[in-house]
């Protein structure tokens, strides 16, 4: 190879490295921006790691765990976590959406024109009621 060809190749490599660095920087900025948007939307929080650990190493969640419910969760997921009958929340919250139970809480809140916080509170109260009744009936059965 001639010195001129080697110089051209080095120049192209230099431009490629600059372009790749710029793309990597842009992707990093977009990642951080999207992560911050998810944090603001309360989809991601510090407690998500805690929830993941609890779900992996825990049996059915109890009434004391209803604070772990997040807007991204679907009704099906909540039913599974808390061992609630599939149609309990549908009946107790008067949900008529055909997407139930594969509907997220935030999605249903938008459909129902309700705030996400109000929807979370309703779901938590409904679960409290169910779990309290289940716990008291289990305690009564065990006592007999």
The H-or-E segment that residue 15 falls in is helix 3-40
Cα(57)–Cα(55) distance, integer angstroms: 6
- pLDDT value of position 118: 86
pLDDT digits (tens, 9 = 90+) for 92-127: 888 888 888 888 888 888 877 778 888 888 888 898
Query: Phi-psi bin for 5: left (phi > 0), alpha (psi -120 to 50), beta?
Result: alpha
- Judge whether residue 141 has pLDDT over 60: no
- Choice between 18 and 138, residue whose per-residue pLDDT is larger: 18
């Amino acid at each position: 190879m001639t010195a001129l060809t080697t110089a051209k190749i080095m120049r192209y490599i230099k431009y490629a490295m600059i372009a790749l660095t710029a793309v990597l920087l842009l992707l990093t900025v977009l990642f951080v921006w999207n992560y911050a948007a998810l944090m603001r939307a309360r989809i991601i929080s510090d407690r998500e790691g805690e929830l993941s650990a609890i779900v992996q190493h825990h049996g059915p969640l109890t009434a004391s765990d209803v604070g772990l419910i997040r807007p991204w969760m679907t009704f099906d997921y909540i039913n599974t976590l808390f061992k609630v009958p599939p149609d309990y929340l549908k009946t107790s919250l008067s949900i008529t959406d055909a997407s139930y139970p594969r509907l997220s809480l935030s999605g249903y809140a938008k459909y129902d024109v309700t705030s996400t916080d109000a929807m979370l509170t309703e779901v938590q109260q409904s679960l409290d009621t169910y779990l309290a009744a289940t716990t008291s009936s289990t305690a009564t059965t065990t006592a007999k």
